[in-house]
Amino acid sequence: MAKILVTGGTGYIGSHTAVELINKGYEVVIVDNLSNSNIDVLNGIEKITGVRPAFENIDCVDYVSMDRMFEKYNDIDAIIHFAAFKAVGESVEKPLLYYRNNLVSLINLLQLMPMHKVNNIVFSSSCTVYGQPDILPVVESAPIKPAASPYGNTKQIGEEIIHDTIYANQGYQSIILRYFNPIGAHASAEIGELPNGVPNNLLPFVTQTAIGLRKQLSVFGNDYNTPDGSCIRDYIHVVDLAKAHVIAVERMLKKLTKSRIETFNLGTGIGLSVLEIIDTFEKVTGVKVPHKIVGRRDGDIEKVWADPTYANDVLGWVATESVEETLRSAWAWEQNLAQRTKPE
């Protein structure tokens, strides 16, 4: 079976993708420097799949170590490149950290691919490349707007670097996946999102507030031009997202791609507001989430949700999990985490 390199494979989306790949019989090699994840994630992957993936503690920015890693696993068939920094606010404070980490790691991989005869790479992009779209739901051909943060810029530049490099190297291909807002956790509650410190993203803040780790959730703005005034996003179950990566890899390995680079939105097509998410979470879990409305957060987009038709038609992939089930899974994971960290 094909061997897949998963960079950032102990991270949130990476770990769920490793599980789906192993379930389909792929051999998985994880490279992660554990800068924003935990080695215990490997136990979770093993519990779910019965297989412990190969693991290398390497920073993808370290060219020499990456070169050695490719030598060691000398027949890698495809790369899924998740490893990146992703905190929007931090990227504004430390832009060079973001440009260096996110772009040098990608450049290293693209440089090493031909040397090690790896032809295929899946790149983690983001709906952030669209900024505030003029037309919703947003399609892949929508204009790319100036990035609102250095983080967003690394995704835009990353896509450009891939374009230029793939077209300059005969035989190489890439699938670019633009994620909307991944939430939820594996149904086993063995793996899930593990935010470092105070969560930036909505869902971990909701679950941490529900379990009592945080006093109150701040809702950033209720004066947007949306039905209830709070921002709208397309929240997608992380396992649905993970499954799309397996399909993308299969598509490249079977040479089914129609062009050397294909770009897909990965979303549900449904836009939900912050207040709707809180309300639905409270309904499905029966747990209250204390929250208050505060001012807008800098750099937030008012509303964005995907048109996933292209991925539906071409990849034969559809997000199947309901938001209710997804929120339930996020809550089960938070409860499991609380059990694990409870003193004996």
CB of 35 to ligand UFG, least distance (A): 16
Please write down the HEC assignment for all residues of 139-152: CCCCCCCCCCCHHH
Judged by CB, which is closer to ligand UFG: 188, or 200? Answer: 200
SS3 331: helix
- Is residue 151 flagged as an active site residue? yes
Catalytic residue among 12, 26, 151, 172: 151
Q: How far is the CB of 152 from ligand UFG (least distance, A)?
A: 6
C-beta closer to ligand UFG: residue 92 or 301? 301
Q: Which residue in the block uniquely carries the two structure tokens 């998740």?
A: 82
**Whole-number Å distance between alpha carbons of 271 and 169:** 39
Q: Least separation, in Å, of the C-beta of 118 and ligand UFG?
A: 27
Q: Which amino acid is at 46?
A: E
Q: How far is the CB of 40 from ligand UFG (least distance, A)?
A: 23
| Residue with Cβ nearer ligand UFG (53 or 133) | 133
Tokens standing for 256?
């089914």
Chain-centroid distance of CA 64 in Å reads 26
Of residues 63, 75, 42, the one with CA closest to residue 111: 63
Q: Tell me which residue of 17, 4, 2, 35 sits closest to 197, measured CA to CA.
A: 35
| Residue corresponding to tokens 């990965």 | 266
Which residues bind to ligand UFG, rule: CB under 6 A? 86, 88, 126-128, 151-152, 181, 200-202, 205, 217-220, 231, 233, 274, 297, 300-301
Closest CB to ligand UFG among residues 46, 90: 90
With beta carbons less than 8 A apart as the criterion, state whether 266 and 177 touch.
Answer: yes
From the CB of 312, what's the least distance to ligand UFG, in Å? 21
Q: 310 is written with which tokens?
A: 């292209």
Q: Which is nearer to ligand UFG, 53 or 221 (CB)?
A: 221
Catalytic residue numbers read 151
